Structure formats: structure tokens, C-alpha cells
Amino acid sequence: MRGWHMLREEGALTMARQLPVRFDLCASAAFPPARKGRLSLQIRQDLWRMLQDLRGFSPVIRVEEEGQGLRVSAGGRAAAPFPRLDCEARIAALLTSPVHRARWLARARIEGLA
């Protein structure tokens, strides 16, 4: 993906448009095991669609192994001032949306896992 940075660490992947990575706004949620790269791409696309009108917004998605699953932190940079609490509530709602989660996980599923 041109213009995107994929930072890989032991047990984690971070996708960001700009470096250094900065979370001016962020929400997180637990996910079952999945392919980190595919999951981050799917979430980033929907996050961008949702917040593209936020001045200076640049998405960041971090997917970390946590226990038997994953912890996804989604958010990114934004130009101040911005409605942080409203934006973080919208991100949290996106990350817990059953419809979105089902679509994301269908595309990021690991073969052999139910």
C-alpha cells in the first residue's frame, strides 16, 4: 500500500499514514484471532469513511496479540481542536458494531479456525 507504513513488532502490527505514530484520539476492542494486516486494513477503511471530514485526520490502527485473541486500537491524528469524546465514542461504536466485525473477520480469518 503506497503511502502507508506497516510497522511490525513481536506480536503486533501498526498501520499509519504518518510517522511517528500518534493517537490524538483512540478507542480499542478485543477481537478473536485473525490476520493482523487484513484486519487493520478493513478497519482503517471504515474508520476513514467515518471520520474523513475531521480536519487533519490521519488514521492509525494497532493490532496486538492479547491472550488467545487480539486487541485493536483505532484512532489517529487530528488537527486541534476537535470533539475528542464524540469521536472516540464513534470509534468505539464502530469497533463493536456486529455488522462491521462480521465483515472484517470474514476477510481476515485464519484458515482452519472456526
- CA angle centred on 104, ends 107 and 31, rounded to 5°: 115
> Mind listing the pLDDT tens digit for each residue in 35-64?
999 999 999 999 999 999 999 999 999 999
> pTM for the whole thing?
0.92
State the Cα–Cα distance between residues 68 and 95, nearest whole angstrom.
18
User: Given the DSSP bridges, would you call strands 25-31 and 5-9 parallel, antiparallel or unpaired?
Assistant: unpaired
Please give the pLDDT value at position 80: 82
Please give the pLDDT value at position 2: 76
* % of the chain with per-residue pLDDT over 70: 96
Contact at 8 Å (CB) between 105 and 32? yes
Q: In this structure, what are the phi and psi dihedrals at residue 15, rounded to the nearest 5 degrees? A: -110, 125
State the Cα–Cα distance between residues 54 and 38, nearest whole angstrom.
25
The residue among 89 and 2 whose pLDDT is bigger is: 89
How many C-beta neighbours within 10 Å does residue 75 have? Answer: 24
Q: Across the chain, what does the average pLDDT equal?
A: 94
Q: Which of 63, 65, 54, 56 is nearest to 88 (CA)?
A: 54
